[in-house]
A and B are shown apart, each in its own frame.
Chain A
Amino acid sequence: MFHIEKTSSEEVALIGRLDAAQAEIARQTFNTIQSTMTVDFQQLDYISSAGLGVLLMTQKRLNDIGHSLKLIHMQRHIRDLFTFAGFDQIFLIEP
């Protein structure tokens, strides 16, 4: 399953598997983000295009108001997926 934990006022953690059935949960949480936020991927085991879409829409919206998402602690296979999606060019991704 999937859930999101707010670990501080500036950081959230994605936990579990973010598939198309879970994307709405992610969308609801990400829609509430109004300023620069770190997203911890350490406990995220899976993500597909539905989840990537939520991140992209959020990044676009934040960018318009001078903010952004920073993505950290990605597992290797998910880091590769972000490269294939070209998301390494539109997100700050840190080890």
Chain B
Amino acid sequence: MRREKSFTKNLSSLDEVFAFISTYLQHANVTDVFPIHLAVEEIFANMVRYNSQNFSDIVISIEKSGKTLRIHLSDEQAEPFDVTKVKSPELNVPLPQRKVGGLGLHLVKQFVDQVYYEYENHHSIVILTKTLET
């Protein structure tokens, strides 16, 4: 079962994004929703922040096949920006040196198994895969 939906490229779309993901996961009997919501939000918010100058949609597709969940987020008409190359922040430094930048991607990598980036025909695509325990 695969589902796909387009979302306006704005943080105000997040409620709709979460609803779309939750509905799918419920049908697919996936109960551990939090890591999926977090990973999708971080990538979506990244696409909003780094490509807000055009009004193309962000298309999200989600598919569970066996125990593997695959989620594509595609930002149309985007400049190439490989989120997987964003450096994780230093976590073992004192408070004054702690930085916020890169934290979202670091968390995504903790919660899903793989994060891929593709750029094709002006589409910036991030693919998340996660092996489900249930």
> Closest A-chain residue to B108, C-beta based?
A49
* Overall SS of chain B's interface: helix
A56 to B94, CA, bound (A): 12
Expressed in whole angstroms, the minimum distance between the Cβ of B92 and any Cβ of chain A is 7
Verify if B96 is at the interface (C-beta below 8 Å from A). Answer: yes
A59 within 8 A of B: yes
> A19-B14, A20-B11 are known contacts. Are A49 and B103 too (CB-CB below 8 A)?
yes
| Chain B residues near A (Cβ < 8 Å) | 11-12, 14-15, 18, 34-35, 37-38, 41-42, 45, 48, 91-92, 94-96, 98, 100, 103-104, 106-107, 110-111
> In whole angstroms, how far apart are the Cα atoms of A57 and B98 in the complex?
9
Query: Taking the complex as formed, is A46 at the interface, i.e. its CB lies under 8 A from any CB of chain B?
Result: yes
User: Does B42 contact A60, Cβ atoms closer than 8 Å?
Assistant: no
Please name the residue on chain A nearest to B17 by beta carbon.
Answer: A19
Dominant secondary structure at the A interface: helix
B11 partner, pick from A21, A57, A60, A84, beta carbons under 8 A: A21
Interface residues of A (CB under 8 A from B): 17, 19-21, 46, 48-50, 52-53, 56-57, 59-60, 63, 77, 81, 84-86, 89-90
Per CB-CB distance, the 7 closest pairs between chain A and chain B, nearest first, are A86-B91, A49-B104, A53-B100, A21-B11, A20-B45, A84-B110, A49-B103
